[in-house]
Amino acid sequence: MSKKLFIETLGCAMNVRDTEHIIAELNKHQSYSQTQTLEDADLIIINTCSVREKPVAKLFSELGVFNKKKKIGAKIGVCGCTASHLGDEIIKKAPYVDFVVGARNVSKITDAVLKKGTVEIDINNDETNYDFADYRNSLYRSSINISLGCDKSCTFCIVPATRGDEISIPSQMILNEIQKAVDSGAVEVFLLGQNVNNYGKHFSDKTETTNFTQLLQLISKIEGVKRIRFTSPHPLHMDDEFIEEFASNPKISKQIHVPLQAGNTRVLKDMKRGYTKEWFLNRCEKIRTLVPDVRISTDIIVAFPGESDEEFLDTLDVMEKVKFDAVFNFKYSPRPLTPAQNMPNQIDDATATKRLQRVIELHKEHQDEHMAKLVGQTLEVLFEELKPNGEVFGFSDNYIQVFVNGSEELLGKIVKVKVTSASRTSLKGEVV
């Protein structure tokens, strides 16, 4: 009889993909069905994120609750970046945790489940040639890792310490995986890595030379692939060749994440981001010139140590100039294992809150401006979900949520839709 798995996923798209891999691997040896009811589960897994300070206490209090509620004999595992970071400390503090598997050790999950007390957190583990079993959350979208880890050392970021050095996955493995996904109904591929456009710099096999632009070209030759997306590219590696491929390849979704972090060049230098305000603006301008209907999203951190009021204005200035379509905004959060936590001039929370508020307010203006312009336009939408109220939901080519009245016949298809109304974050329309 199949066992029941309760799995909670926190954090980024890579974690969502790791969860798919965890489910696929577990099913190799023992069939699991998923449950949302903790009390029913035979196996409980938390796939954690550590990029910002969700106090570790929160993980432990959640673990305590899970331990009380779980049925007798159920196992509890902790996976992901906090597992990599804390390792066996987790079992010391919460001895009822059965196993700990880090973000770089997903291939070890089946053995870990079988052996109480397993801690697998080696960040040098090379999984680039490991053939993970298949499983995906979405019928139509297939998420594919193209690299593991990160070769940067942004001074605020814990990721290189939890996911290890960057290694590129062999292009042939990526292409095979995509072909398999397409054969089983996927139409969109979502390429994942911490710096996708740095792809190809760190193969374990030193004879391979494919770079990111070439990888995009190879993937777009696969017949069943209708739409290609990726996250996250790094502004530093946005050379002209890459931007021109992004602009001219009709299969590439016209939405791009260009993570700013801060607008001031001195602050960027302290963050070790490797680019200046001018370079960032120049890249965004080139993207908007070549792709007028592009949507640009970004990440912004306010109140990095030492950021003065005047320097913060550069962040608002970049926002005014680029008018981002989506902004993920964060207060700087000091993280263990990072240089920025020990920098002088840490900024007080009241200042950080004020700055964050200004970012949010300005962004709302830009969002409203962009969304209002879309009413009356015709967009290409890939439909993926039938809602209980009879609406069908999908994403446009430039990745805006779109709702229409329709039936399941639309699912998995790319269809032209005329936009009839817009809210701040989604559109309604009619199939034309």
By C-beta, is 11 or 160 nearer to ligand F3S? 160
By C-beta, is 100 or 157 nearer to ligand SAH? 157
Closest approach, Cβ 234 to ligand F3S, in A, equals 6
Q: Which of 159, 252, 291, 422 binds ligand F3S (CB under 6 A)?
A: 159
Choose the one of ligand F3S, ligand SAH, none that binds residue 335, judging by a C-beta under 5 to 8 angstroms depending on kind.
Answer: ligand SAH
Q: Which of 3, 16, 52, 391 binds ligand SAH (CB under 6 A)?
A: 52
Could you say whether residue 194 binds ligand F3S (CB under 6 A)?
A: yes
Cα–Cα nearest to 243, from 216, 222, 220 = 216
Choose the one of ligand SAH, ligand F3S, none that binds residue 160, judging by a C-beta under 5 to 8 angstroms depending on kind.
Answer: ligand F3S
Distances (CA, A) of 411 to 222, 249, 260, 422: 21, 24, 35, 22
Between 299 and 328, how does the x/- string for binding to ligand F3S read (CB under 6 A)? Answer: ------------------------------
DSSP string, 175-207: HHHHHHHHHTT--EEEEE-TTGGGTTS-BSSTT
Could you say whether residue 80 binds ligand SAH (CB under 6 A)?
A: no
Q: What is the Cα–Cα distance from 286 to 340, expressed in whole angstroms?
A: 32
By C-beta, is 150 or 379 nearer to ligand F3S? 150
Could you say whether residue 195 binds ligand F3S (CB under 6 A)?
A: yes
Could you say whether residue 232 binds ligand SAH (CB under 6 A)?
A: yes
Q: How many residues does the chain have?
A: 432
Query: How many contiguous H segments (helices) and E segments (strands) does the chain have?
Result: 13, 19
User: Is 215:178 a contact under the CB 8 Å cutoff?
Assistant: no
Closest approach, Cβ 88 to ligand F3S, in A, equals 25
Residues 113-152 contacting ligand F3S, CB under 6 A: 150, 152
Choose the one of ligand SAH, ligand F3S, none that binds residue 330, judging by a C-beta under 5 to 8 angstroms depending on kind.
Answer: ligand SAH
Q: What is the Cα–Cα distance from 15 to 194, expressed in whole angstroms?
A: 11
The torsion angles phi and psi of 98, rounded to 5 degrees, stand at -85, -35
Query: Helix, strand, or coil here: 254?
Result: coil
